[in-house]
């Protein structure tokens, strides 16, 4: 298992930085901290554009520093924080600097590959990292894992499925894991035909039946790209080969994932679909916090359903497997094309089915080079985005 085990400082409050504090995961992290204030001190909070929300959170959590990525919003942040002791900073570099501050725990909850540099900065100083930002692991898995090992950092999975598997594996050695089973809600289009999906609107795709999340991951759930990214994430986090990771659709989202061991035992982790559960697990690890989330009532739920994913209607899972098996630059192309295509769909420039189709086209450019430095990964990611933008433009023209 690649997820490291280390002992954090016992007895004193844990200092925490939240990267992406104004997002869905960032907000849930703030709620858990507010519920258990004696356990935490907040070092830094970062955001990209929601400056008022950032200032409000910084005051509520008594943060040392608040950082807004968009430099043009720094004057607004400074005026909102006037009269407090909170330092206001602005710009992308300032987000990386925030990750370098000496917080014990960094919640990596920026969306997309933009989270890579700050997350890597926290890894490089050996921090405990709560990893929600799956895209950075997908596009730079080997680099991140080698930096984790080199710097004695600890990755604690926050994505609910990976957190579930981490909890199930605890205490067992990697070689006794035979199979990982990722559960998937199936998203809003679980029962839709391809034809109906071809006309799906932004609003249809954002209407997730079980989870309330940021816009990008909501679209990823509708295409099942989210599960595809999670398959790659599981491969890197747990060091398990692609063919030993399966996906099952479980519409109630009560079982968050399962691990099958070589002796035939399968362990699962269950909770209502509320991100505060995996967030609290990571924030408190290795101890448990007291958090007032709704407890499971199995009798009220009655039954749990499972079905095989339909890769005909949702080809994303097949593409993730192909990307993992192709290796080289495939995971970077996969993630970059998806980010570009999701943004174009949200801007109503392309149709819903174009998203996965653009990713499939992007994978044709794969080359076998292993990119081992941050600079190489970032440069390749930029060129992958340029090509994906060209695909978007071609499709947008066809749609007119
Ligand atoms: P949101 O869109 O809700 O939040 C994203 C956060 O990142 C915001 O704080 C945003 O700032 C900030 N941000 C956006 N762009 C940049 C940038 N270029 N540089 C720095 N910061 C930026 O996303 P979620 O909270 O939904 O998701 C965050 C990550 O966690 C994703 O990788 C997602 O896949 C993963 N995840 C999310 C889950 C969920 O339930 N939401 C569940 C499991 C994993 P601002 O809003 O101020 O512009
Ligand atoms: Mg998930």
Domains plus CATH for the chain?
14-158 (3.40.50.720)
If you measure from the C-alpha of residue 144 to the centroid of ligand 2, how many angstroms do you get, rounded to a whole number?
19
Atom number in ligand 1 closest to CA 110: 7
Question: b vs e for 209-234, b when ≥16 Cβ sit within 10 Å of the residue's Cβ?
Answer: ebbebbbbbbbbbbbbbbbbbbbbbb
Atom number in ligand 1 closest to CA 118: 20
Which pLDDT score, from 0 to 100, does residue 5 have? Answer: 43
Which pLDDT score, from 0 to 100, does residue 208 have? Answer: 87
What is the best residue among 17, 21, 24 to mutate for testing ligand 1's pocket, by most ligand atoms within 8 Å of CB? 24
Which pLDDT score, from 0 to 100, does residue 171 have? Answer: 82
If you measure from the C-alpha of residue 114 to the centroid of ligand 2, how many angstroms do you get, rounded to a whole number?
19
In sequence order, what are the beta bridge partners of 270? Answer: 255
What is the best residue among 18, 19, 21, 23 to mutate for testing ligand 1's pocket, by most ligand atoms within 8 Å of CB? 23
Calpha distance 227→216 (Å, rounded)? 13
Cβ 114 under 6 angstroms from ligand 1: yes
> Is the Cβ–Cβ distance between 162 and 257 less than 8 Å?
yes
**Would strands 177-184 and 245-249 be described as parallel, antiparallel, or unpaired?**
parallel
Describe the crossing of helices 225-238 and 160-169 by its angle, rounded to 10 degrees: 30
Cβ 108 under 6 angstroms from ligand 1: no
In sequence order, what are the beta bridge partners of 155? Answer: 129
If you measure from the C-alpha of residue 46 to the centroid of ligand 1, how many angstroms do you get, rounded to a whole number?
11
Apex 239 CA angle, 220 and 368, nearest 5: 75
If you measure from the C-alpha of residue 26 to the centroid of ligand 1, how many angstroms do you get, rounded to a whole number?
7
Cβ 269 under 6 angstroms from ligand 1: no
Q: Whose CA is nearest to atom 21 of ligand 1?
A: 48
Q: Which residue has the tokens 């448990």?
A: 288
In sequence order, what are the beta bridge partners of 156? Answer: 130
Cβ 26 under 6 angstroms from ligand 1: yes
Q: Which ligand is nearest to the CA of 28?
A: 1
Q: Which ligand is nearest to the CA of 66?
A: 1
Calculate the alpha carbon distances from 388 to 127, 202, 372, 385 in Å.
34, 20, 23, 5
Long-range contacts of 202-211 (CB under 8 A, 24+ apart): 202/345, 202/346, 202/348, 204/352, 205/345, 205/352, 209/185, 209/251, 210/185, 210/251, 210/252, 210/253, 210/273, 211/185, 211/253, 211/273, 211/275
Calpha distance 33→359 (Å, rounded)? 38
Q: Which ligand is nearest to the CA of 224?
A: 2
Atom number in ligand 1 closest to CA 135: 32
Q: Which ligand is nearest to the CA of 220?
A: 1
> Is the Cβ–Cβ distance between 332 and 382 less than 8 Å?
no
Which pLDDT score, from 0 to 100, does residue 303 have? Answer: 97
- Taking the chain (400 residues) in consecutive chunks of 10 residues, what is each chunk's mean pLDDT? 47 95 98 97 98 98 98 98 98 98 98 98 98 98 98 98 97 92 97 98 93 94 98 98 98 98 98 98 97 96 98 98 97 98 98 98 95 96 98 87
* Residue ranges with strand state E in 262-370: 266-270
Which pLDDT score, from 0 to 100, does residue 8 have? Answer: 46
Taking alpha carbons only, the member of 104, 94, 92, 51 closest to residue 73 is 51
> Is the Cβ–Cβ distance between 49 and 70 less than 8 Å?
yes
Cβ 132 under 6 angstroms from ligand 1: yes
Q: Whose CA is nearest to atom 22 of ligand 1?
A: 48
Token pair of 301 as six digits:
């739920």
Token pair of 297 as six digits:
């009532």
Token pair of 348 as six digits:
């109503």
pTM of the model: 0.97
| C-alpha dihedral, 357 to 351 to 229 to 106, nearest 10° | 140
Apex 67 CA angle, 28 and 275, nearest 5: 10
Which pLDDT score, from 0 to 100, does residue 257 have? Answer: 98
Which pLDDT score, from 0 to 100, does residue 7 have? Answer: 44
If you measure from the C-alpha of residue 213 to the centroid of ligand 2, how many angstroms do you get, rounded to a whole number?
10
Count of CB atoms within 10 A of residue 115's CB? 25
Question: Strand order of the sheet with strand 255-261?
Answer: 245-249, 177-184, 255-261, 266-270
If you measure from the C-alpha of residue 146 to the centroid of ligand 1, how many angstroms do you get, rounded to a whole number?
24
Cβ 27 under 6 angstroms from ligand 1: no
Residue 29's φ and ψ, nearest 5 degrees, are -65, -45
Which pLDDT score, from 0 to 100, does residue 6 have? Answer: 44
What is the best residue among 31, 58, 71, 132 to mutate for testing ligand 1's pocket, by most ligand atoms within 8 Å of CB? 132
Which pLDDT score, from 0 to 100, does residue 400 have? Answer: 66
> Is the Cβ–Cβ distance between 293 and 277 less than 8 Å?
yes
Which pLDDT score, from 0 to 100, does residue 1 have? Answer: 46
Report how far Cα 80 is from the mean position of its chain's Cα atoms.
30
């Amino acid at each position: 298992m690649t997820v490291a085990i280390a002992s954090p400082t016992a007895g004193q409050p844990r200092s925490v930085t939240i990267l992406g504090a104004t997002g869905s995961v960032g907000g849930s992290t703030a709620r858990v901290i507010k519920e258990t204030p004696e356990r935490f001190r907040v070092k830094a909070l970062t955001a990209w554009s929601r400056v008022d929300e950032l200032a409000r959170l910084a005051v509520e959590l008594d943060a040392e520093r608040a950082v807004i990525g968009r430099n043009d919003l720094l004057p607004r942040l400074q005026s909102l924080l006037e009269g407090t002791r909170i330092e206001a900073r602005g710009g992308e570099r300032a987000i990386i600097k925030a990750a370098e501050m000496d917080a014990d725990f960094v919640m990596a909850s920026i969306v997309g590959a933009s989270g890579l540099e700050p997350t890597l900065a926290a890894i490089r100083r050996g921090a405990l990292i709560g990893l929600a930002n799956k895209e950075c692991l997908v596009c730079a898995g080997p680099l991140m894992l080698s930096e984790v090992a080199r710097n004695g950092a600890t990755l604690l999975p926050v994505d609910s499925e990976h957190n579930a598997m981490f909890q199930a594996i605890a205490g067992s050695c990697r070689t006794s894991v035979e199979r990982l089973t990722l559960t998937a809600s199936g998203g809003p289009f679980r029962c839709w035909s391809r034809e109906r999906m071809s006309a799906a609107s932004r609003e249809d795709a954002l209407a997730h039946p079980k989870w309330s999340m940021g816009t990008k991951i909501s679209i990823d759930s509708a295409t099942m790209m989210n599960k595809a990214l999670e398959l790659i994430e599981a491969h890197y986090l747990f060091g398990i080969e692609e063919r030993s990771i399966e996906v099952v659709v479980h519409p109630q989202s009560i079982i968050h994932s399962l691990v099958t061991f070589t002796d035939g035992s399968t362990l699962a982790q269950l909770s209502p679909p509320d991100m505060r559960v995996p967030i609290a697990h990571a924030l408190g690890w290795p101890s448990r916090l007291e958090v007032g989330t709704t407890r499971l009532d199995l009798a009220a739920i009655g039954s749990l359903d499972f079905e095989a994913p339909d890769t005909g209607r949702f080809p994303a899972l097949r593409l993730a497997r192909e990307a993992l098996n192709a290796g080289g630059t495939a995971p970077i192309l996969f993630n970059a094309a998806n980010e570009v295509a999701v943004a174009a769909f949200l801007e109503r420039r392309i149709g819903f089915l174009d998203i996965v189709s653009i990713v499939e086209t992007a994978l044709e450019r794969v080359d076998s080079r292993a990119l081992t430095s941050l600079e190489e990964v970032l440069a390749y990611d930029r060129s992958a985005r340029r090509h994906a933008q060209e695909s978007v433009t071609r499709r947008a023209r066809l749609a007119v």
